[in-house]
Amino acid sequence: MGPRLRALLEFCPPHGPVADIGSGHGRLALELKRRNPGRQVLATEINPGPSAELRRLLGAESGVQILEGEGLRPVAGLGCRGVVIAGLGGLTIAQMLERDREIAQGLEWLGLQPAQRVARLQSWLQTAGWPLVDHRQVEEKGHLYQMFLVAPR
């Protein structure tokens, strides 16, 4: 796990059910579960190909619950306290939050780490009026990654 994902792990609140949206390789979800085996950890992927690959990578014994679907929809009504959305573009994240705003507003926190188009996401958050709780940046392989902890409302 590189500095970006390690920083995200330290950055996001450590308690309560959590979902890793667009989990990809699943390393963040796996480490969240490993650090706290009693915690409910969910990992989502957008469609059947990536979610099958995620299932294969994590294995049934990981204890991570894998869900399939677009954006925040797979976790609607499942009682997550927070979600992490990392490695997607800032515009994609902003569009996701706009579409799934009601679901997001049922969460206590969102840990957002846009891969690019950071300003686009910041501008969406500002317009939404969601308080910024924390901000951090971390360098990995010469790239400076931004992460934002926001409290939706």
Contacts to ligand SAM by CB under 6 A:
21-24, 44-46, 50, 70-71, 86-88, 92, 96
Tokens (6 digits) for 32: 């969240």
> 131 vs 135, which CB is nearer to ligand SAM?
135
Beta-strand ranges (E) seen in the chain are 18-21, 41-45, 65-68, 82-86, 109-113, 132-140, 143-150
Shortest approach of ligand SAM to residue 52 CB, angstroms?
Answer: 12
Q: Are strands 132-140 and 41-45 parallel, antiparallel or unpaired?
A: unpaired
Shortest approach of ligand SAM to residue 77 CB, angstroms?
Answer: 17
> 65 vs 92, which CB is nearer to ligand SAM?
92
Shortest approach of ligand SAM to residue 20 CB, angstroms?
Answer: 6
Shortest approach of ligand SAM to residue 107 CB, angstroms?
Answer: 16
**First vs last C-alpha separation in the chain:** 32
> 71 vs 90, which CB is nearer to ligand SAM?
71
Half-sphere exposure of 10 (CA within 13 A, CB side): 10
> 88 vs 107, which CB is nearer to ligand SAM?
88
Give the neighbor-by-neighbor strand order of the sheet with 18-21. Answer: 65-68, 41-45, 18-21, 82-86, 109-113, 143-150, 132-140
Shortest approach of ligand SAM to residue 113 CB, angstroms?
Answer: 7
> 7 vs 125, which CB is nearer to ligand SAM?
7
